[in-house]
Amino acid sequence: MTGALSQEELEQYRSQGYLLRNSVFAPEEVDSLVAAAEALYRVDSPARTVERDGVTVRAVHACHTSSDVFAAVIKDPRMLLPAHQIVGTDSVYIHQSKINAKRALEGDVWQWHQDFTYWHWEDGMRAPNAVNLAILLDAATEFNGPLLLVPGSHRQGLMDPARRDSGAGPESWKNHLAADLEYTVQVKDLAELSEESGIFSATAPAGSVLLFDPQIVHGSGVNMSPIDRRMAIFSYNEVANLPVPPGDGRPKFLSSREAAPLELAAWTG
């Protein structure tokens, strides 16, 4: 596999707002991504968040800046070529990256949301000319909180979110990463959209890649299983679409200020 999307895959992505490609990375490659993720989870830093219990790691951000392995995998043709095709230019960079841990039995919910709500209102990104590529580091099953998406919901554009009144403060961005999200999709919108097109559950083997639109409605439930559901998500944005943040903007580990275009380079694990 060169990595490029077929015309059919591209059309499916455009109409559904997501595309699931099974087993893109080989088991040995997944092992090396998992080892790199676990090394980052052990590092205490503001880019690492924990669950409500205060101890279980929830996510680590900006892994492409803190790990050689993740810095390399984002340039591999299996990641970068689809990003080029979807964004429509060879000039893309990573706006945000994170590895969600969704730990066995402890991994908490991600409420229904649209990513672009945060990127537009908090980061100052003008257009949703971006794409998420998520690598499943564990098999996602019906039991461990797979990502759920509402097919076609990206075509609604940016919807008025329900807003949790958590107050504005210098660290209000913490409410963008926790189980109680700042902006969520309104229940009436979720009901209408899912009645029309149902809900897709992105279950797949480890090493699969899920591509999804910045405006698709998505979320995930708690992990009820005894296995983790780790997933690394890379948000590729067009260089010309570099956000202009209102004020100081969110920390760099949530909204990159570096927009050098990524060069293709095969990663061999």
Query: For binding to Mn ion (CB under 5 A), which residues are involved?
Result: 115
Q: How big is the chain by its Cα radius of gyration, in Å?
A: 17
136 alpha-carbon distance from chain centroid? 11
From residue 122 to residue 161, the character string flagging contacts with ligand SIN as x (rule: CB under 6 A) and all else as - is -------------------------x--------------
Give the DSSP per-residue string, 204-262: B-TT-EEEE-TTS-EEE----SSS---EEEEEEEEGGG----STT-S-TTTS----PPP
Residue 58 engages ligand SIN in binding (rule: CB under 6 A): no
Burial class of residue 43 in the structure, from the number of CB atoms within 10 Å of its CB (0-12 exposed, 13-18 middle, 19+ buried) = exposed
Helix (H) or strand (E) holding 136: strand 130-136
Q: Does residue 190 interact with ligand SIN by CB under 6 A?
A: no
Q: Which option in Mn ion, ligand SIN, none does residue 231 bind, with CB closer than 5 to 8 A by kind?
A: ligand SIN
Give the tokens for residue 138: 């564990």
Shortest reach from residue 100's CB to ligand SIN, in Å: 4
The answer to whether 135 and 25 are in contact (CB under 8 A) is yes
Asked if 235 touches ligand SIN (CB under 6 A), the answer is no
- Report the distance separating Cα 16 and Cα 13, nearest Å: 5
The reply to whether 231 sits near ligand SIN by the rule CB under 6 A is yes
Minimum gap (Å) between residue 8 Cβ and ligand SIN: 26
Q: Which is nearer to ligand SIN, 38 or 90 (CB)?
A: 38
Query: From the list Mn ion, ligand SIN, none, which binds 242 (C-beta under 5 to 8 Å, kind-based)?
Result: none
Q: Tell me which of 153, 220, 237, 241 binds ligand SIN, using CB under 6 A.
A: 220
Where along the sequence are the contacts to ligand SIN (CB under 6 A)?
Answer: 100, 102, 110, 147, 218, 220, 231, 233
